[in-house]
Amino acid sequence: MTKAAQPRLAVLISGRGSNLQAIIDACASGELPAQIALVISNNPDAAGLQRAERAGIVAVCIDHREFGSREAFDEALVSELRAHAVDLVILAGFMRILTSVLIEPYLGRMLNIHPSLLPRYPGLNTHQRALDAGDSEAGATVHFVTEQLDGGPPVLQASVPILPRDTADSLADRVAVQEHAIYPLAARWLVQGRLVLEGQYATLDGTAIPSTGIPYTPALE
């Protein structure tokens, strides 16, 4: 497949873009057979915008604070995505609650990564919540985006043990390593047409994925 024929991705970010970098690297190596057509941030100070520019990717800021509603902001996102003929959307630390204005046109074509072992700890402060609960492990989950916040069908999940001296920051650092492994892999399955959203379920190669996602092992790659 030529690069011109590859699916066109948009990556949406709000911060430093470490998962964006993992996606950039996977596309560059051929591990992820797609091209990143666009990076969008809602934060003009997001370091990930510079990552995109260094990689020669179109980088755009659409500041949510300039819009009167979530729906109006999402309409601007959809307009930009369509202007760049985007096929698939990858949310990588995009700190906005999305509405149906964005979700419906890309339903089944939009993934997110969440820093917890969903369904545990949707929302924010996931690592501290895991520590406060006395959990023995933490992790990250790639899931399809639906209108339920962090509630779309899980695809792939990786875990790390919680160590006695862990802080939220040290735990986040170890979980991030796993995020960078599982997100390009799940995106590859989506690009290849192997990963499909079917109603309330996700399937891989026609087989239903467990309700907590496929447990990640390096052998999956």
Residues with a catalytic annotation lie at 114
Q: Cα torsion for 85, 1, 220, 135, to the nearest 10°?
A: -20
**Do the strands 201-204 and 207-208 form a parallel or antiparallel pair, or are they unpaired?**
antiparallel
Strands (E), the chain: 8-13, 35-41, 59-61, 88-91, 110-114, 137-144, 154-161, 195-198, 201-204, 207-208, 214-215
Cβ atoms within 10 Å of 105's Cβ, excluding its own: 14
